[in-house]
Structure 1
Amino acid sequence: MTPSSDTPDPYADPLVFGQRLQILRNRRGLTRDQLGGLLGRSASWVKGVESGRLKTPKLELILGIAEILRVRDLAELTGSQTVHVDLFAGPGHPRLPAVKAAVDAFPVSTPHEAPPTAHLRARLDRAWAARHKSPNHRDVVGALLPDLIRDAQTAVRQADRAGERRAAQAILSESYALCQFFVAYQPDAPLLWRVAERGLISAQESEDPRAIGVAAWLATQAHRDSGYAHFDAADAVNLATLAHLTPLLPDAPNQVLAIAGALTFEAGYTAARRGETGTAWRYWDQARAIAERLPADFYDPVTSFSRAIMGAHAVTVAVELHAGGESVRQAAAADAVTIPSRPRRARHRIEEARGYQLDGQPDAALATLDKAHEAAPETIKYNGYAKRIVLEEAESKIPARRRRASELAEKMGLLAA
C-alpha cells in the first residue's frame, strides 16, 4: 500500500492554537471585536493570536476563551492530545444508558395498561421533590426516569378522550423536562436535543399553558448554551412563548405566572450573555415584579422561580455581564440559604464563585465552590464554570491556594481517568 492511500494521521500536521481559535470563533458566530470585548482585549489582539503574531496566551486566558466559545474538550482548542479536560460536558453518568434507551425506544405496542394520569402526576411530583432534596440528584432522578417516560408515553397512546390525551401529553412533556435536567452537560448533545424537541411537541399537543412555558424555557436554554450564533433562536422561542402567555397573566394561577417570570428572566440572561446591560437588567426588573405577585413561600419545582431566587438571578446577570464588583455586591445581597433546592443552591454558589473570580478574589471563589460541593456534588461535577476556576487556581503561584484548588479538583472528580 502506498503512503498516499494510507488513512491520514489527523495529528501529523496539527493546527496551531491561533488557527484553532479562529475556526472555533467562526463556528460560534463571534466576530473578533465581540470575542475581544468578552475577554477584555481588543480585536487586534484576537487577530494577533489567530495569525500567530502573538504567542499562545496563558492558561487563565485559554480557559476564558474556552468558556466563551463553549469548548467541550480543552484539547479541541489547544491541540494537545495529552490532556483532555471536558469543560462543558461532564462524564457520562452511570444511569445515562438506561435513560437514553427509554428516550430512544419506539414502542409500537402497549403490553400493559397505563397508570392513571393522577398516579403519574404524583410520581412526577415525587421525582421533582427528590431532585431538590438530594445532593446526588442525578443518580436519584436517573433511577426514576426510564419507567416514568415509558408509562407517560403509554398513557398518551391509550388515552380515549381528547381531554385525557391532553392531560397525558402535559405529564409526558414535564417528564421530558425532568429528563433534560438529567441529560444536560453529559456527553450526548443529540440526546439532549431529542428530549427538548419531544418536550416541545408534547407541550403543544397538551395545549396546557404551563407545559408550553416549561418546554420553551428549556428549549431557550438549549439554544443559548449552543453558543452565540444560537442566541437569536433562544430569543425567538422565549419571546414567542411570552407573547402567548401574556394575555393569560392577569388571572393566571401561580404555576403559569411563575413560568412567565422564569421566561422573562431567561430573556435577560440571554441579553446579559450578549453584553446588553440595560436590556438584561430591564428583564430582571420585570421578572422580579412577577415574582412579587407570587406567595412568599411559593417555589416552582421545575424552574425554581420564586421571590427567593431573584437575588441569585441578579448575581447571574452581573456575572454574565462580566461585572466583578457588581457580582460581589449582588452575592452579598442574595441569601443562598433561602433557596430550598440543593442543586439550585449549588448552582447559585458557583455563580457567586464566578463573581469573586471576576473581582480578583480567588480564595473566596474556591471557598464558595466548596460550599457548592457540600450542597450538591453532582451539580459542581458537571459545571464547566466551576471546572474553569479550579483548573485556573491549580496553576496558582501561591502554594496554599494551589493546594486548595487541587483538593477541590480531586473531590470534583477532575483527576479521574
Structure 2
Amino acid sequence: MTEPASSTFGQRLRAHRERTGLTRPVLGGLVGRSAEWVKAIEGGRLLPPRLPMMLRLAEVLDITDLADLTGAHPLPVASVTRAGHPDVDQVAAAMQRTTAPAGDPVPAVVLRGLVDQAWTLWHQSSTERGAVAAVLPQLLDDARTSARRLDGTDRRAALVELARVYHLVQLFAANQPYSELVWLAADRAMAAAQDADNPAAMSAAAWYYAHVFRSSNRTDAAEQVLVDAAGMLDPSAGGEQLARWGQAQLGIALTHSKRGRDGKAWRAWDAADDAATRLGSGYAHPWLMFGPTVVAAYGVTVEIDLVRPGEAIRRATNTDYSSLPSRTRRATHLVDAARAHLLRGEDVAVVHLLGRAVRESLDTVRHRPHARMAIMELVDRRGTVGEDARELALAIDLG
C-alpha cells in the first residue's frame, strides 16, 4: 500500500493504522507512546519522529519500506532492522537444489543422531547461526538422500528428520532479509511431515509455519494450521503428544494476542500452561523446548502484544530464565523483557536486560529486530544508558 506523494506523514500513518485495524491507544501502546501522541502525529501537530521510532511504527504496522510512511526515497525496513548472516549463501544453495545428491542413504537412526547434534548446537551456542550454518548444507544433503532412497518405516523416519532440518533452516534464516528462504523452509518442513504421515512431526511443522503466518499478519491462517495440528494429537496420552499439543495451544495464544484478542489468547495460554504443568516442573522438550518455563516466558510476549507492559514486567520478574536449557531461548525472552521496560521508558532496565541477552546469545540479539531497534533508540541517550547502548551496538555490529 503506497499513499499518494502529496499525502503527509500523518495521513500515511493513519491510513496504515486503519488498514491493520489498530486503534490509536493500541498503536501508541505498542511503540511506547500515548493515543494523544498518535493523534498529534496523524493530525500534523507533531513533526515526524526520528528513525528509531519510525522503524518501530513500521514493524507494528507491517510496513516493509519506510517510503510508504515518509513519501521519500525507498528504505527497506529489513535493511536496518534485520542483519544478514555471512553464511546464508551456502545454506540457501543447499536448499535450492532440486534433486537429492548421489550416494548411499544415511540410516535413519544415524540421521536422527546427526539432527539431534545440530539442534544441540542451536540451543547451546552463543553464535548459533554460525554453528548450525557449518553443518546445515551437509545435513540437508544427507536427510534428503535418506528420505529419497530409504523405504517403508525407515523412509518415514528419515522424512521426520528432514522436517527437523528444515525447521533449523527456518530458524537460521528468521529475522534476516531473506523471507523467501524462511517461507521455503516452513513449506518444505510441512510437506516432509505430511509425507511421513506423522502427527507429531506435523504439529512441530505447524508451530513453525504459524510463526511465518504471524510475521506476515496472516493470523487466521496461523490459527488454522495450529488448530488442525492440535486436532491430530491426544493430550490424554501424556508425554510427547501432550507436549506437542501444549505447544500448539501456545502458538494459538500468540496468534490471538497479536490480534488483540485477550480472552482467546489467555484461554489458549492457560491450556498450554496446564499441559506444561502436567509434564512436570523441570520438563523441557529436548529440542522444541516446550515446558513450564517457556510457557511462562511466552506469557510476557502475550502481555506485550496486548499492550500491558506492567503485567509483562511482573511476569518477567517472576520467570526464572536461567532454568531454560537453551541459550537462544533465554536470550529471546530477555529481549522480550527488555521490550516491556522500553514501553515504560525504563531505559536502565532495557540496557541491563539486553546486556544479559548478549551474554547468553550474541546471534539472537544481533538478529532480533526489537533488540536492534531498542539499541538504536538508546545510543543517543546521555550518561551510562547511552554508553551501554553504544557498547551493545558495537557488540552486535549495528552500523
1:180 equivalent in structure 2:
170
Cα displacement (A) at 1:43: 8.4
Q: How far did 1:235 drift?
A: 0.9
Partner of 2:87: 95
CA contact (8 A) 2:214 2:222 kept: yes
User: 1:409 matched to which residue of 2?
Assistant: 393
Supply the AA of the counterpart residue of 2:99. P
1:114-153 pair list within 5 angstroms: 114-153=105-144
In structure 2, do the counterparts of structure 1 residues 304 and 88 end up closer, same or farther at CA, with 3 Å as the change threshold?
Answer: farther
Which residue of structure 2 aligns with residue 310 of structure 1? 295
In 2: Cα distance, 1:61 partner to 1:92 partner: 22
Q: Which amino acid aligns with 1:399?
A: G
Q: Distance in 1 between matches of 2:318 and 2:137?
A: 40
Q: Which residue of 2 aligns with 1:234?
A: 222
Aligned pairs for 1:64-103 (under 5 A) are: 64-72=56-64, 74=66, 77-78=69-70, 86=78, 90-103=82-95
Q: CA deviation at 1:251?
A: 1.5
Structure 1 residues 43 and 295, CA, compared in 2 at 3 Å: closer, same or farther?
Answer: closer
Partner of 2:104: 113
Listed one character per residue, the Cα deviations across residues 188-243 of structure 1 (whole Å, up to 9, x for unaligned) are 1111111111111111111112110110000001000112xx11111111112112
Partner of 2:151: 160
Counterpart residue number, 2:249: 264
1:63 deviates by: 3.9
User: Which residue of the other structure, out of 165, 168, 193, is the alignment partner of 1:203?
Assistant: 193
Distance (Å, rounded) in 1 between the aligned partners of 2:64 and 2:364: 17
Q: How far apart are residue 359 of structure 1 and its match?
A: 2.6
How far did 1:70 drift? 3.5
Q: Which has the larger radius of gyration?
A: 1
Correspondence for 1:375:
360
Instruction: Quote the Cα distance in structure 1 between the aligned partners of 2:390 and 2:196.
Output: 49
Alpha-carbon spacing, 1:126–1:352, altered in 2? closer, same or farther (3 Å): same
| CA–CA separation in structure 2 for the residues paired with 1:88 and 1:175 | 28
SS at match of 1:239: helix
**Deviates most, 308-317 or 347-356:** 308-317
Alpha-carbon offset, residue 399 of structure 1: 3.1
Please say if residues 193 and 201 of structure 2, whose CA atoms lie closer than 8 Å, have aligned partners that are also in contact: yes
Q: Distance in 1 between matches of 2:274 and 2:35?
A: 39
CA separation of 1:80 and 1:344: change in aligned 2, threshold 3 A: farther
Q: CA deviation at 1:155?
A: 0.9
TM-score normalised according to structure 2 size: 0.90
The residue number in structure 2 matching 1:34 is 23
Amino acid at match of 1:167: A
* SS of residue matched to 1:299: coil
Partner of 1:92, secondary structure, is: coil
Deviation at 1:315, TM superposition (A): 1.4
- Looking at structure 2, the residues matched to 170 and 19 of structure 1 have their Cα atoms a distance apart, in angstroms, of 49
**Is the Cα contact below 8 Å between 1:88 and 1:185 reproduced in 2?**
no
Letter in structure 1 aligned against 2:28: L
Cα distance, 1:386 vs structure 2: 0.8
Partner residue, 2:235: 249
Asked if 1:301 is matched to 2:286, the reply is: yes
Instruction: Please state if 1:212 is matched with 2:183.
Output: no
Q: Percent sequence identity over matched residues?
A: 35
1:273 aligns with 2:258: yes
Instruction: Give the 3 Å change call, closer, same or farther, for CA 386–80 of structure 1 in structure 2.
Output: farther
User: CA separation in 2, counterparts of 1:320 and 1:213?
Assistant: 24
Give the structure 2 partner of residue 4 of structure 1.
Answer: none
Q: What is the aligned residue count?
A: 393
The letter for the 1-side match of 2:333 is H
Return the match for 1:104 from 80, 84, 96. Answer: 96
The residue correspondences of 1:272-291 to structure 2 (distance < 5 A) are 272-291=257-276
Q: What amino acid sits opposite 2:395 in the alignment?
A: K
Instruction: Give 1:166's aligned amino acid.
Output: R
Q: How far is the alpha carbon of 1:58 from its aligned partner?
A: 5.0
| 2:389 alignment partner AA | A
Task: Name stretches of at least 5 consecutive residues in structure 1 with no aligned partner.
Answer: 1-12
- Amino acid of the structure 1 residue aligned with 2:216: S
Rounded Cα–Cα distance in structure 2 between residues aligned with 1:88 and 1:236: 32
Question: For residues 338-379 of structure 1, what are the alpha-carbon distances to aligned partners after superposition, in whole Å with 9 as ceiling and x for unaligned?
Answer: 111001000011011011122331111111000000100000
Change in Cα spacing, 1:35 to 1:237, as seen in structure 2 (3 Å) is: farther
* CA RMSD between the two structures: 2.7
